[in-house]
Amino acid sequence: MAEQYKSLHPVKYYRDYLSHNIRPDGRVFDTFRPVILNTGSIDTADGSALSKLGQTTVVCGIKAELCKPKAESPNKGFVVPNLDLPPLCSPKFRPGPPSDQAQVLSQLINDIIENSQCIDLTDLCIFPDKLAWCLYIDFICLDFDGSVVDACIIALVGALKTVKLPFVDYDAALDNIQVNLENTRPLPVHSIPVSTTFAIFDDKIILADPTVEEENLCTGIIVIVLKDDELCCVHKPGGSPLSSDELLGCIEKSKKKVPLMRDLLKTALQDVG
């Protein structure tokens, strides 16, 4: 009976639950779903991680290639993040070029990487004006169940921490490149961004870490990214208006997630050694 009620009156179904201060999946408004992180399981990539946020699953793989730095920034490498929302992960997506949603999320992730300064592009320079690393960071969503950006950022940090770049010997006079695979170095990761998604339901109730159903029914989304104690992204693209106190309340709530994520990363990376 509940199933039919849910599909016929989804909003009412949710309201009934929320009026009792609980969500249909048993969480209260500001609890997050359990997180799983698995790192370094794909050895064709130079760094990889898989994160699960409840059902939402994202795999992140980093491949490093060599290139020439831009003339205007000769001592900087490149970071090229792209999020793919393949038709595999949800019936909402069709095969073909990336949807608007995938493009918006790719850009948001790019902004988060840039703003949090977790990768210093000068670390990627091998020889100024001649040779630099280009990190292709590809995110693939395997299961689309809401809060994809959060899952991407967890996978990103996990994958970055496992990146090992081989040592490159560059002879500028002869333009000769010699790569030494035995001698590798880890990529310095300067900060750990932690992203939290909130959904605004019925213009007033704020749900942390929404599932895809909640995202579809809600009237607004907020993404907040913290690094250590600083904020590096408060993204609220339209939707129900909030008072500044409510917005600050969300920031406060997202702060709770930072120590949790730090512990998670620690445990996940210990396994790798």
Partner 1 sequence: MPIDHKRINGPEDTLPYQLFTKLNRKSLEQKYKELVQDGKRHDSRAPLEHRKIFMKTGVVSQAKGSAYIEVEKTKVMVSVFDPREIPNRQDYSLKGEIYCEFKFAPFSCEKRRLHQLDAEEKQYSQIMKKALEATVCRHEFPNFQVDIYALVLHNDGSALSAAITAAGLALSHAGVPMYDLITSATLGIQKDTILIDPTTIEERICRTPFWKEKEDNEHGLVVLSMLHTHNQVAQFYQSGSISLDKLPHLIETLEKACADTIPVIQQCLVKHVIKTIKKSSNVIEV
Partner 2 sequence: MEATKYRCNLDILSRPDGSVLFCEGKTTVIAGLYGPVEVKIQKAHIDKATVDCHYRPKSGLPGVEDRLYESFIRNTCETSLVAALFPRSAVLIMLQEMQNDKQLISCAVNAACMACLSSGIDMKFMFGAVTAFLTKDEELVLTPPIIDKDIKALFVIVFESTEGRILACHTEGCFSKEQFNQAVSICEAQCINVFKFFKQTLLDNK
Q: Which residues bind partner 2 (CB under 8 A)?
A: 100, 103-104, 106-108, 110-111, 115-117, 220, 222, 227, 229-244, 247-248, 251
What whole-number distance in Å separates Cα of residue 185 and Cα of residue 165? 5
Closest to partner 2 by CB, 27 or 253: 253
The yes or no reply on residue 123 touching partner 1 (CB under 8 A) is no
**Which DSSP string corresponds to 84-148?**
E--TTT-TT--SSSPPHHHHHHHHHHHHHHHHHT-S-GGGGEEETTTEEEEEEEEEEEEE--S-H
Question: Least distance (Å) from partner 2 to the CB of residue 88?
Answer: 21
Decide if 132 contacts 38 (C-beta within 8 A).
no
The yes or no reply on residue 136 touching partner 1 (CB under 8 A) is yes
The yes or no reply on residue 252 touching partner 1 (CB under 8 A) is no
Residue 235 is encoded by which pair of tokens?
């993204």
The yes or no reply on residue 43 touching partner 1 (CB under 8 A) is yes
The yes or no reply on residue 195 touching partner 1 (CB under 8 A) is no
Residue 165 backbone phi and psi in degrees, to 5: -95, 135
> What SS3 class is residue 202?
coil
Spatial CB neighbours of 210, under 8 Å, sequence gap ≥ 6? 146, 147, 197, 198, 199, 218, 221
Question: Least distance (Å) from partner 1 to the CB of residue 56?
Answer: 9
Interaction residues for partner 1, span 137-166 (CB under 8 A): 138, 140, 142-145, 166
Pairing type for strands 220-227 and 193-201 reads: antiparallel
Binder among 9, 10, 28, 70 for partner 1 (CB under 8 A): 70
Question: Least distance (Å) from partner 1 to the CB of residue 257?
Answer: 22
What whole-number distance in Å separates Cα of residue 152 and Cα of residue 61? 11
Q: Which does 270 bind (CB under 5 to 8 A by kind): partner 2, partner 1, none?
A: none
Question: Least distance (Å) from partner 1 to the CB of residue 73?
Answer: 11
The yes or no reply on residue 178 touching partner 1 (CB under 8 A) is yes
Which amino acid is present at 212?
A: V
Question: Least distance (Å) from partner 1 to the CB of residue 135?
Answer: 9
Task: Please give the residue ranges that form the binding site for partner 1 (CB under 8 A).
Answer: 41-45, 48, 55, 57, 59, 61-68, 70, 78, 80-82, 84, 86-92, 95, 97-98, 103, 106-107, 110, 134, 136, 138, 140, 142-145, 166, 168, 177-181, 212
